[in-house]
Amino acid sequence: MNRLLALFALILMSCNSTPNSQSTSDSSSASKSQPNILWVVCEDISPMLSFYGDTTAKTPNLDALAKESVVYDNAFSVVGVCGPSRSSIITGMYPTSIGTMHMRTGLDIQSWGKREYKTDTNRFDLEGEEVIQYSAVIPENVKCFTEYLRNDGYFTTNNKKTDYQFAAPVTAWDQNNNNAHWRNRKDGQPFFSVFNFDVTHESKIWKNDDKPLTVEPSTVPVPPYYQDTETSRKDIARVYSNIELLDKQVGKLIAELKADGLYDNTIIFFYSDHGGPLPRQKRELYESGLHVPFMIKGIDGKKGRSSAMVSFVDLAPTVLHLAGVDIPEHLQGKPFLGENLNQKRAAAFGTSDRFDEFTDRSRTVYFDDFIYIQNDFPDKMWYKDVGYRKQVPMMAEILQLRDARKLNATQLEWFSDKPKEELYNRKTDPHNLTNLAENLDYKSELEKGRNLLTEFRENRFEDRALQPEVEMIRSMWPNLEQPTTNAVEMVIEDEKVSLSTQTKGASIAYIVSDKALNDVNFDSGWQLYSKPFKVRKGQYLYTMAERIGYKESTIVTQQL
């Protein structure tokens, strides 16, 4: 209780006692119109909603939002699993270029994440080789894009999943917890708020087993790569039932926005972090793993459908563009929405590396109506015996039927070795079952896909992925020790404070308070430092620095 009271006092003092410290951001944003932006993010679903033609689940709230939105028919995650996908979303970079492509690196799943790892205890076995758990050290110029929003006056909140493959730096969010909400901002301050709903996550197939099915198993569609059994139908019905639960949660959030009178002037994104949760969906490069539901309700009244190709690497630059914030040159994605755009994405790329205890490497490109895939290790089968996935009842049944030789040829294909190249026609083969790579009628499409992927791979978009993971970790963590951010150095002249740190790429956070604080930790009240600010004599200044992947610095305290 004392700790909670101290944290509450910390937030109040940091918000109320430092009017001068944020005047630069607030004054710059006051002169331009900045929209509110809300992200409604779910997990692990493909475009299996009514506005994509699948009416199995009843989703009145999402349907209503879709009628006022632009629905995108070609939106793709860059990886078919959450951690690498979310690292791309928060940075605007391909995971293979910043070293976040292996699932999973550490324990940062919720909120701020785990910042310090003990290498003598945090280890896992990777196909016979012991690998430490680690936080990815990404290139020094790469930030969470929300820092650029904060620096321009936005109030940023995340409720609450992060799962970036690194701990979220304290400078990324104004609030990042179960209570994070646009309602906590200053009057008139524009907001960027993210709400993450996990009710459709893969784990909810078995964790929600005690909940009633609201979708009748006999009515669900069964893809041809599954056995049509009672177990399969029950799991598929659970997925659709979870989507109906999601719809209720989204409806409640939208109702809050409307109650606050903010619905009409808030841009709303809805999407899933990657494709479906079932076997041969999650972790795959096929449409079932990368193709996601995606819609945007704007404030310009536009609605309908768009065939524009969207990649998750484009989300960060798009939000920055909509907010009127300069897009850093290093971002690898491009904005697809807003004014004065002269680029249109012609292809979307996806990558596949280690998933939990199984490592591999494949790359894909989506273009026109086709999917082209390169498998760097064709001696490995498509199927990965990931232990986590085997908690899905139908996965256990698939393995039993395989061993009993009761699967048909289509269902057995997943358990064969991969070819070097794959080519699928998305329009005529939505389940990606017929490989056209050796079909001479599709020679031009094969060559186009090959050329697109060659350009991607030669563009240094996968530099970090070509190292064995053990070597990559050693380059990030010399001697397998997590580096630590250097402490903040202060220069105080005429009641103006300048802050710096010797760690390249680190961001600096600070708190100014009229009273000494008894409990200062990394998760509350920190402001993002961007330029010198004024303070008053007698105030207390708390500072810390953090580079992504490093331990945060010590907190330096100074009474002025």
Question: Tens digits of per-residue pLDDT, 321-358?
Answer: 999 999 999 999 999 999 989 889 999 999 999 999 99
Tell me the torsion sign for CA atoms 404, 406, 411, 416: positive
Whole-number pLDDT of residue 30: 44
Which two structure tokens, joined as six digits, stand for 120? 């003598």
Distance from C-alpha of 342 to C-alpha of 258, rounded to nearest angstrom: 34
pLDDT in tens, 174-202: 999 999 999 999 999 999 999 999 999 99
List, in order, residues 6 or more apart from 324 with CB less than 8 Å away.
32, 33, 34, 152
- CA-based R_g, the chain, Å: 24
The predicted model scores a pTM of 0.92
Strand-pairing partners, residue 183, are none
**Domain formed by 1-32+483-560, architecture:** Sandwich (2.60)
Indicate the DSSP class of residue 421: E
Q: What is the mean pLDDT of residues 96-117?
A: 84
How buried is 202 (Cβ within 10 angstroms: 0-12 exposed, 13-18 middle, 19+ buried)? buried
Whole-number pLDDT of residue 27: 37
HEC secondary structure over 190-239: CEEEEEEECCCCCCHHHHCCCCCCCCCHHHCCCCCCCCCCHHHHHHHHHH
Q: Where is 250: in which H helix or E strand?
A: helix 230-259
Domain definitions of the chain by residue range? 1-32+483-560, 33-365+461-480, 368-458
Q: What is the mean pLDDT of residues 526-553?
A: 95
Backbone angles phi, psi at 362, to 5 degrees: -140, 155
Distance from C-alpha of 278 to C-alpha of 231, rounded to nearest angstrom: 12
Distance from C-alpha of 14 to C-alpha of 17, rounded to nearest angstrom: 6
**Is the pLDDT reported for residue 89 higher than 50?**
yes
CA-closest candidate to residue 79, choices 347, 431, 361: 361
Q: Is 12 left (phi over 0), alpha (psi -120 to 50) or beta?
A: alpha
Mean pLDDT for all residues in the chain: 91
Whole-number pLDDT of residue 110: 74
Indicate the DSSP class of residue 243: H
Indicate the DSSP class of residue 5: H
Contact between residue 488 and residue 500 where contact means Cβ atoms under 8 Å apart: yes
**Is the pLDDT reported for residue 14 higher than 60?**
no
**Is the pLDDT reported for residue 13 higher than 60?**
no
Confidence of residue 20 (pLDDT cuts 50, 70, 90): very low
Q: What percent of the chain has pLDDT over 90?
A: 83
**Is the pLDDT reported for residue 427 higher than 90?**
yes
Q: What is the mean pLDDT of residues 552-560?
A: 93
Instruction: Decide if 15 is catalytic.
Output: no
Pick the residue with more confidence: 228 or 116? 228
Whole-number pLDDT of residue 256: 98
Whole-number pLDDT of residue 32: 66
Whole-number pLDDT of residue 23: 34
CA-closest candidate to residue 515, choices 481, 542, 486: 542
Strand-pairing partners, residue 132, are 123
Contact between residue 225 and residue 280 where contact means Cβ atoms under 8 Å apart: yes
Contact between residue 389 and residue 279 where contact means Cβ atoms under 8 Å apart: yes
**Is the pLDDT reported for residue 240 higher than 70?**
yes
HEC secondary structure over 513-528: ECCCCCCCCCCCCCEE
Residue with tokens 């929600």: 208
Confidence of residue 49 (pLDDT cuts 50, 70, 90): very high
CA-closest candidate to residue 288, choices 76, 29, 73: 76
Whole-number pLDDT of residue 156: 98
Least confident of 25-29, 164-168, 432-436: 25-29
Whole-number pLDDT of residue 464: 86
Tell me the torsion sign for CA atoms 171, 172, 178, 184: positive
**Is the pLDDT reported for residue 1 higher than 90?**
no
CATH number of the domain located at residue range(s) 33-365+461-480 in this protein: 3.40.720.10
Distance from C-alpha of 172 to C-alpha of 528, rounded to nearest angstrom: 8
Indicate which residue of 15, 42, 82, 144 is catalytic: 82
**Is the pLDDT reported for residue 222 higher than 50?**
yes
